[in-house]
Amino acid sequence: MKSIIRAALVATALVVPVASFAQSQITRAQVRAELAQLESVGYHVGDGDQAHYPQAIQAAEAKLAARNGETAYGGAASGTTQAGGGRVSQAD
Q: What is the DSSP letter of 88?
A: -
Task: Tell me if 37 is assigned to some domain.
Answer: yes
Range of the domain at 26: 2-45+53-66
The answer to the question of residue 81 being in a domain is no
The 10s digit of each residue's pLDDT in 11-24 is 777 766 665 665 67
Report if residue 60 sits inside a domain: yes
Distance from first CA to last CA of the chain, Å, rounded?
A: 74
- pTM flag (> 0.85): no
- Structure confidence by residue, pLDDT tens digits, 45-90: 877 777 888 888 899 999 988 888 876 565 555 656 666 666 666 7
CB atoms within 10 A of CB 84: 5
CA pair distance 61, 25, nearest whole angstrom: 20
In a domain, 76, yes or no: no
User: Is 8 inside a domain boundary?
Assistant: yes
Based on the structure, what is the number of domains in the chain? 1
Helix (H) or strand (E) holding 10: helix 2-22
